[in-house]
Structure 1
Amino acid sequence: MGALGWLTRRRSATARSVLAGEAAAEAARKSAQEAAGEPRPAAERAEEAKKAEFPVVGDARAAAFFDLDNTVMQGAAIFHLGRGLYKRHFFQKRELARFAWQQTWFRLAGVEDPAHMEDARNSALSIVKGHRVSELMSIGEEIYDEYMAERIWPGTRALAQAHLDAGQKVWLVTAAPVETATIIARRLGLTGALGTVAESVGGVYTGRLVGEPLHGPAKAEAVRALAAAERLDLSRCAAYSDSSNDIPMLSIVGHPYAINPDARLRRHAREQGWRLRDYRTGRKAARIGIPAAAGVGALAGGAAAAVAVHRRRR
């Protein structure tokens, strides 16, 4: 009975990963179709592409997938989002201290405690429960300008722009809320974003997720689902991440990159012959773990925003 129970739980976890991946893929495609990009000056794009040092070839069946936290942006999106929500009185100092402790624990431990992560996720979900999706989207735009814009890694942005300049689509793939991820993608001129989908009914958050946080294996499922919908050839695609938790996503593409990698990903990338880029200073690169896409990413799963897919099905 013990073995049977374990197998049942394993299958259930896999099913949740698939659901989260498919929901994120559909939401990302819709947001990309609805959102108009904000193109930057041609000279700036050309200069960044030159710095990218990546031989991108124009290919309609190729695309690029970028993790967000510590890959595209310094730090965790959910942490910056939390700062903005606290400033707007969404929660009290006691809850802020709790979030700060969780952020610190994830950074120092370098590993995931499922119970700890679930507690963080539930805390975030409770904060936005009852709020309107449109409210969080509007606030998210302000928070991007206040805390996130100046933390984008120029080097990673140049890599993404190189793909765009070659005529390829570029997607963020993150455990951060899909609305937050979509705002960042639009501001950077990217195609769209795959993110954690929070359930909403009538435009109001219910305090539940669709599936699970878009983290680890769920990211790989989301990329597969999007690739199938977009008729992409994953062997021609590229993926970029800082975290060993994204090895499943990195492993399904033909061109995986380790960006600002944690220790485990750096080892794995060297063993597999993957390319590496590190845009941190020596001091930052020496810090242990910084597994933002791991623990903090799971926290992000509930902290905001929502799924167009699930909303339309209601």
Structure 2
Amino acid sequence: MRQLALFDLDHTLIPIDSDYEWGQFLCRIGAVNADEFARRNADFFAQYQAGTLDPVEYLEFALGTLAQFKRSQLDEYHAQFMHEVIQPALLPAAFDLLKKHQDQDNLIAIITATNRFVTAPIAAALGVEHLLAAEPDVDTSNNITGKLLGVPTSGVGKVIHLHDWLQRRDQQLSDFGQSYFYSDSHNDIPLLEVVTHPVATNPNAKLSAHALTRGWPQINLFDQQ
């Protein structure tokens, strides 16, 4: 029976937060008002770390920023972002972990609260075909409108998106003899609780404490990088 391997992205497969770094990148290149954007971005990031973030409010901010630019300009910015920020953060330990599951012919997916525009090229660079991410609405010219499609891919929303994705594949979680989910954050406890093999990966303090009480394994991919 085939196995399922799910991975969070930020601070799990990469040792940075791609959403936060994307905002910092836009500030650095002068694409947005640096002072105002950096302040709001930092506020949202602190809320995420504290577990108090309203995901819809944040995504409206993030997608609203993307909507200020034509898609061709966004793609140009993102190529530069990948070269300057993401490529240096793609480390051997993450590829080794993914390869372990690829060699076992597992069905592999990244499931992240960050939007698809930011994360799709990162998933491709990691060699992962399937990506479940916050979905930005686009117009007929493929420009981002600033609206979110469906529910956020955070908290219990990751469970919802997982079941919806499997249903579109005519599958369900119980079809897999073993299911893994690797995550760094206590925000992902709802999905960690429904797989057969939850793995606290580079865990924050809250997740580490929870994993200890539940007897979940804990790994740190980037300690020796």
Q: Report the TM-score when normalising by structure 1.
A: 0.63
The one of 197, 219, 225 aligned to 1:277: 219
Unaligned runs of at least 5 residues, structure 1: 1-58, 283-314
Separation in structure 1 between the aligned mates of residue 47 and residue 129 of structure 2, nearest angstrom: 30
Q: Does 1:67 align with 2:8?
A: yes
RMSD of aligned residue pairs (Cα, Å): 2.4
Separation in structure 2 between the aligned mates of residue 139 and residue 63 of structure 1, nearest angstrom: 34
Q: Report the TM-score when normalising by structure 2.
A: 0.85
CA contact (8 A) 1:130 1:204 kept: no
Q: Does 1:263 align with 2:202?
A: no
Deviation for aligned residue 1:266? 1.4
Secondary structure of residue in 2 paired with 1:112 = coil
Secondary structure of residue in 2 paired with 1:144 = helix
Q: What amino acid maps onto 2:107 in structure 1?
A: K
Secondary structure of residue in 1 paired with 2:198 = strand
The one of 136, 145, 149 aligned to 1:210: 149
CA contact (8 A) 1:235 1:255 kept: no
Aligned residues: 220
CA contact (8 A) 2:93 2:222 kept: no
Matches within 5 A, 1:177-216: 177-202=115-140, 203-216=142-155
CA contact (8 A) 1:169 1:190 kept: no
Separation in structure 2 between the aligned mates of residue 105 and residue 88 of structure 1, nearest angstrom: 23
Matches within 5 A, 1:110-125: 110-114=50-54, 119-125=57-63
Unaligned runs of at least 5 residues, structure 2: none
Give the strand-richer structure, 1 or 2.
Answer: 2
Q: Does 1:132 align with 2:62?
A: no
Secondary structure of residue in 2 paired with 1:213 = coil
Matches within 5 A, 1:103-182: 105-106=46-47, 110-114=50-54, 119-182=57-120
Identity of aligned residues (%): 26
Return the structure number with greater relative CO, CA threshold 8 A, min gap 6.
Answer: 1
Give the helix-richer structure, 1 or 2.
Answer: 1
Q: 1:113 to 1:185 in 2, by over 3 A?
A: closer
